Chains A and B, each alone.
Chain A
Amino acid sequence: SQTIHQWPATLVQPVGSPLSLECTVEGTSNPNLYWYRQAAGRGLQLLFYSVGIGQISSEVPQNLSASRPQDRQFILSSKKLLLSDSGFYLCAWTSISGANVLTFGAGSRLTVL
């Protein structure tokens, strides 16, 4: 069966510090991978998605970047965090042959102070 792992689960970082959130998927190959951010009362905002190694599409201009160094690994990064980067970050995957069903990780809560 397929599983998705995200870490760290919780992170408190000072403004201006770097960020690295990791996501890995097991039990499948060539998944589509996504990073979402969730802010209170604003639903889910798609940040990045990837259909293959090294292929990253950005949905919104921002202080964040994403990379996909391996087929089942997706990394969200920032060189210098802003207060507005605080939020709950969710990684998700879909099968390329599925009915667009997203399977989500447990999420990473980032607080920037």
Chain B
Amino acid sequence: AQSVTQLGSHVSVSEGALVLLRCNYSSSVPPYLFWYVQYPNQGLQLLLKYTSAATLVKGINGFEAEFKKSETSFHLTKPSAHMSDAAEYFCAVSESGANSKLTFGKGITLSVRP
């Protein structure tokens, strides 16, 4: 069984500040890991994914995440927050290999202060 933990429900940063959203996973097999973003009243959009290639993954909108097996973590970062980054962010895990279902964390809301 797999699980994802996203501690806290809300993070607030100033515009231009570093964004750090934490994600820890549990998996008994090598995982695939994902970050999704959701804007209000919209579906989820893939930000980036880790599928056992490079451990530092770059995604859209300047976000990146690093897979750290020893820490079972996949934290999402962005060097400089923009007002348009305000949204809800979900971390997800699946088993490696095709046709494995994703398990999502509870999500975390990012607010960006002017």
Q: Is B45 an interface residue (CB 8 A)?
A: yes
A46 touches B98 (CB 8 A): no
Bound together, the chains give a CA A107 to CA B45 distance in angstroms of 12
Cβ-neighbour of B41 out of A34, A92, A97, A107 (below 8 A): A107
Pick from B15-23, B60-68, B72-80, B100-108 the stretch touching chain A.
B100-108
A46–B51 CB distance below 8 A: no
Closest chain-A Cβ to B89's Cβ sits at a distance in Å of 11
Which residues does A use to contact B, with CB under 8 Å?
6, 32, 34, 41-44, 46, 49, 51, 88, 90, 92, 94, 96-107, 109
Chain B interface residues toward A at CB < 8 A: 9, 32, 34, 36, 41-46, 49, 51, 90, 92, 94, 98-102, 104-107
